[in-house]
Amino acid sequence: MGRRLVLIVAATAGVAAWLALGRSAPAVHRAAGPPIGELFTDLTARYGVEVRWRIDPEFFPAEWADATPSAEPIDEPELRRMPAILTAALAAYPKELIRRDLRRICVAGALSFFGQPYGGTYDDDSVYLCSEGELQGFDDVYLMGTFHHELSSILMRNYGFETERWRSCNPKSFAYSASEGGGVQAIVNAQDSLDGAPEYYEQGLLSQYGKSELEEDFNTYCEAMMTEPARLRRLAARYPVIAAKAALCREFYRRLGIEVPQEP
């Protein structure tokens, strides 16, 4: 396909990035607010990002046809959660970087590719998110983590992340499941768990899904760095490979002027 697709299937636990930065979390219950068409006016004016929620023929790129993409419209209460969540997530990034590298954020009630449900994905300059509601695990922290996860792939490609330095951190006996496309295959094979376990930590992975390919490994670190800094610090203190990879992520993001959360 020439474009990567990423699945996020479980809500992340831990401290949200904006809390680590001293900000208040968006309220769970929000007032009715402005008309739907004006929900993202301020966000678009600040960052130049179009937020799309209407499922029309242009919602997905034409090049994704082979992946049989499908989307369900997001419910209005979930849509009204999005401005606060996206504003909090975007606050960590320089405005100029977002204007340069992110053109669209597309939100839906459900996403699927190859007949499999997806929580998020990305295109060259677009991030896709879905939310089925907080009761289904799509809480504010999860949605922000998904955004950081997907955006990290765009930044990885656009700013030449040094993948060989990352590979050099892995144990000598370690090998990713695939050099490219491993994330999709991991989903198909039901090897896409985001739960952590010592067997993965010893290999320098934060979850089973990180083993699928280098990009997914990097994505899981960036997500944890931006939403679970305390967890990442604890793991880095115990597992040297995790410490080395986390340091590479911080170095890369700080070079781009991104406000990496400090551990509480």
CA 132 and chain centroid, separation: 16
* Structural domains counted in the chain: 1
62 CB burial (10 A radius; 0-12, 13-18, 19+): exposed
More confident residue, 11 or 6: 6
Highest mean pLDDT among 29-38, 135-144, 189-198: 135-144
* Measured distance CA(72)–CA(79) in Å, rounded: 13
Q: What is the pLDDT at residue 199?
A: 86
pLDDT at residue 99 is higher than 90: yes
Q: What is the pLDDT at residue 88?
A: 96
In a domain, 262, yes or no: no
Return the closest-CA partner of residue 86 out of 55, 31, 35, 42. Answer: 42
Secondary structure letter of residue 179 according to DSSP: S
Mean pLDDT along residues 97-111: 98
pLDDT at residue 31 is higher than 80: no
pLDDT at residue 75 is higher than 90: yes
195 CB burial (10 A radius; 0-12, 13-18, 19+): exposed
In a domain, 27, yes or no: yes
Q: What is the pLDDT at residue 177?
A: 83
In a domain, 83, yes or no: yes
In a domain, 6, yes or no: no
Average pLDDT along the chain: 84
In a domain, 10, yes or no: no
In a domain, 264, yes or no: no
* pLDDT band, residue 39 (cuts 50/70/90): very high
In a domain, 94, yes or no: yes
pLDDT at residue 196 is higher than 80: no
pLDDT at residue 147 is higher than 50: yes
Q: What is the pLDDT at residue 263?
A: 60
* Measured distance CA(151)–CA(128) in Å, rounded: 10
| CATH number for the domain that contains residue 144 | 3.40.390.70
Task: Give the domain extent around 205.
Answer: 17-255
Q: What is the pLDDT at residue 33?
A: 78
Return the closest-CA partner of residue 139 out of 93, 85, 196. Answer: 85
Q: What is the pLDDT at residue 32?
A: 64
In a domain, 137, yes or no: yes
Residue 78 has which token pair? 């979930």
Q: What is the pLDDT at residue 198?
A: 87
Q: What is the pLDDT at residue 6?
A: 44
pLDDT at residue 164 is higher than 70: yes
